[in-house]
Structure 1
Amino acid sequence: MDKLPDSLPESIEWRRDDAPVPYRAALDEMTARNAAIAAGEARELVWLLEHPPVYTAGTSAAVAELLDPRFEVVEAGRGGRYTYHGPGQRVGYVLLDLKRRARDVRGFVHALEGWVIATLGDFGVESWRSEGRIGIWCRDTDGREAKIGAIGVRIRRWVTMHGFSVNLAPDLSHFSGIVPCGIEEFGVTSLQKLGVAVDFDTWDRALLARAPEFLAALDKPCGQE
């Protein structure tokens, strides 16, 4: 992407990495940036990137759900259970100061989900939230519900960390080493599997075009129109 949309506020750093970023390195940078934002020493950050294959464990991860640790396993510190990240998956880390907005954790997660759902809709993929199941869901090629995006966040001193991942074209067999997010009865899918070819640049353009809507949603408590 040669130029970011003019509608993006300059008070936030909008970063895109084309080369894969090791998960531990990203986690260290996120942790440091989170503290700097909380201290008023750095701008907020939205960071779009890709990781080499890795399994990450959230604070609720159960050892029995790590079925085949064929890749590095990293304690992420975010909420949730086991998640896979790897090539062909776009990850978005969102580090925002909720003290400047509605101090509403549920509202932040709801807005984050809505941002991904709206962007998937731009590519003709209908997706949704599902009560009691974390993540972004859609109809798979077999007609059953399947997860196409994951959500996992952590909030320290009212500054957010982590964010979302969306399966554009990852190797879906890599998810078989874990029980993704602790949900056994539903599968995982991708835009590629659904017959939609989207590269990172195209995805990023569509996502960032909807960023102002996402930010506007953070200015009001969850459930308030």
Structure 2
Amino acid sequence: MKALTTPPEGCESTSKLIRADHKPVEWLISSEPVPYPAALAAMQARAMAIAAGEAGEAVWLLEHPALYTAGTSAVPGDLLSDRLPVYDAGRGGQYTYHGPGQRVAYIMLDLRERGRDIRCLVQGLEGWVIDTLAAHNIAGERRTGRIGVWVDRPDKGAGKEDKIAAIGVRVSKWVTFHGISLNVDPDLSHYDGIVPCGITDQGVTSFEDLGQLVSMPEVDSVLRRCFEQRFGPTMSSAAEGLVSAS
């Protein structure tokens, strides 16, 4: 499988995804796991408010309790276990896992101010993750025909690779929600209960699985720095207000 190490034509410059007015994005971090239904409701409410011009953009970092989510393309047979609750995600894609030790970043951006190009947005999100991994000496890569970020695993055999980050975005009225999930130190055995993202011939990995022992705050700091390089400035805000307003 050929790796894509650069964005496609038309997405080379990160300036396309930076607002012309450089208005900062609210940067929110929840310190406790957030139930999935509450997060979904909060995201949807914030996206609607952004579209209506009643709220600014936001990136929300959090963890969920252990659970599975089903995208609109989920195949029932890919749910292999009922060990964890399953939620309809309302996004594209198939089954995925969320849980403690996985950094979820929900992205609520106004594409009317960022080029109106969903393909470049996805490439920008992949690049954001790849930059974050590189700062931790992990070589993340794109793969042709597959959204997400992958790591070569020659230790597992020729041609083997593992997915370290999933990306699933929904866009309504040119405002994004959902986002990325990056495996820091989750319980990877929970992936045994699904066929993750419909992929049967490759595995799943994490910072910890790759021998990189880092704390979630350390990852968050790098995520923020790398986000700002691709999407522009951020400003800290309280995540509690986002949940309570939903």
Q: TM-score with structure 2 length normalisation?
A: 0.82
Unmatched 5+ stretches in structure 1: 1-8, 217-225
Aligned to 1:18: 31
Q: CA deviation at 1:127?
A: 0.8
Aligned to 2:238: none
Aligned to 1:146: 162
1:74 pairs with one of 73, 79, 87: 87
Runs of 4 or more above 3 Å deviation: none
Identity of aligned residues (%): 54
Aligned to 1:3: none
Structure possessing the higher relative contact order (Cα contacts under 8 Å, 6 or more residues apart): 2
Aligned to 1:215: 231
Give a deviation string over 1:43-87, Cα, whole Å, max 9, x none. 111001100001001111111111112111000011110010001
1:170 aligns with 2:186: yes
Q: CA deviation at 1:142?
A: 2.1
Aligned to 2:17: none
1:184 pairs with one of 200, 203, 224: 200
1:45 aligns with 2:61: no
Q: CA deviation at 1:103?
A: 0.5
Q: CA deviation at 1:13?
A: 1.1
Q: CA deviation at 1:134?
A: 2.1
1:118 pairs with one of 116, 131, 141: 131
- Match of 1:114, as an amino acid? G
1:156 aligns with 2:172: yes
Give a deviation string over 1:2-39, Cα, whole Å, max 9, x none. xxxxxxx6632110111111111100100111100000
1:108 aligns with 2:110: no
Aligned to 2:43: 30
Report the secondary structure of 2:156's partner residue.
coil
* CA distance in structure 2 between the aligned counterparts of 1:115 and 1:12, rounded to whole angstroms: 15
* CA distance in structure 2 between the aligned counterparts of 1:150 and 1:11, rounded to whole angstroms: 25
Unmatched 5+ stretches in structure 2: 1-21, 233-246
* CA distance in structure 1 between the aligned counterparts of 2:57 and 2:82, rounded to whole angstroms: 34
Q: CA deviation at 1:213?
A: 2.0
What do you get for the CA RMSD once the two structures are aligned? Answer: 1.2
Aligned to 1:197: 213
Aligned to 1:62: 75
* CA distance in structure 2 between the aligned counterparts of 1:125 and 1:11, rounded to whole angstroms: 29
Report the secondary structure of 1:113's partner residue.
helix
1:94 aligns with 2:89: no
Q: TM-score with structure 1 length normalisation?
A: 0.90
Report the secondary structure of 1:77's partner residue.
coil
Task: Kindly tell me the number of residue pairs found equivalent between the two proteins.
Answer: 208
1:84 pairs with one of 83, 90, 97: 97
